Amino acid sequence: MARSVPYILLIISSLPILSMYLWLFMSSLSSKVMFGFIPAGITVRNWRFLWEPIQMGGAAHLSVWKATWNTLIFALMVMLLVVLVATLAGFALSRMQFRGRESLMRLIIILHAFPGITLLIAIFYVLYFLTRVTHLKFLDSLWGVALVKASLEIPWSAWIIKGFFDNIPWEVEWSAYIDGCNRFQAWYKVILPQLKPGIAAISIFSFLAGWGEFIYLYTFIFSQENQTLSLLIKALIGEFRFTDYGLLAAVSLFYIFPVLVFFIFTQKGLMQVSAGGIKGGR
């Protein structure tokens, strides 16, 4: 009986979450809603956005496939930037001794704990200034927002990957130097191949963070052609008088499904973090 208690508690705590997903699924296949929240009737009309443009309240919305492509590109840009910078930063924090190293590691944790939403106004002015000075489109561009999102994900990712660097014996690196490698070659040719679990972990985290991003995209993206799926859902919600909740539920499920499948196939990589990636305080 004692062994079953944790499982019972887990099931009970999971019921509200499972019920919400069940309601979402039922609503996506329902033709109407009774009493304001009970789905009724069966139809596939709510999924028409897969083969025709979304029309709501007389306004045409961005194609869901274009929004999906924008979301994928944004998530991949965030992931690539995070992996590139975090692996370099993690190597420096793990292998190099320099003044202020301990303070920098503490600052990394503080930066990760700092609510990113409080930086919205400051980031907007920075992007606006860079746009005026460089004449590059930092505002209203997916790559500009990807730079912002990646910069907020890098500190924690660098801390995670540092733990994996710490677990690689110094002898491995020294043998590379003896064989004639410089520091960059030792990092690229010898150490990185042994960090596949760590790189997989931060890649998964950063991709999921990019896929699920909303607030920075909502603040810095103005044009419809650059909308991601999260912004498309916000646009559908925004038309309160004409909101089609069945359509909204279907689009929401469409948004969730790819990342759910991605998580199922990559959860082993996420478990590698607890196996060795959050050590790293030396």
pLDDT tens digits along 58-113:
677 889 999 999 999 999 999 999 999 999 888 888 877 778 777 877 887 777 77
DSSP per position, 122-155: HHHHHHHHHHHHH----TT-HHHHHHHHHHHHHH
Alpha-carbon distances of 281 from 22, 63, 159, rounded to whole Å: 42, 47, 9
The answer to whether 62 and 223 have CB atoms below 8 angstroms apart is no
Length of the chain in terms of residues written: 282
- Does residue 50 lie in a domain region? no
pTM, entire model: 0.85
Rounded CA separation 46/23 (Å):
14
Q: Do residues 176 and 185 make contact, with C-beta atoms less than 8 angstroms apart? A: yes
* 38 and 82 housed in the same domain: no
Under a CB-based contact definition with an 8 Å cutoff, are residues 153 and 216 in contact? no
Give yes or no: residues 108 and 183 share one domain: yes
pLDDT class of 146 with cuts at 50, 70, 90: very high
**What CA–CA distance (Å, rounded) separates 237 from 251?**
11
Is 20 in the same domain as 104? no
Name the residue range of residue 28's domain. Answer: 4-43
- 56 in any annotated domain: no
- Kindly state the average pLDDT of the residues 176-200: 83
* Sole residue written with tokens 């646009």: 235
Residue 253 confidence (pLDDT)? 92
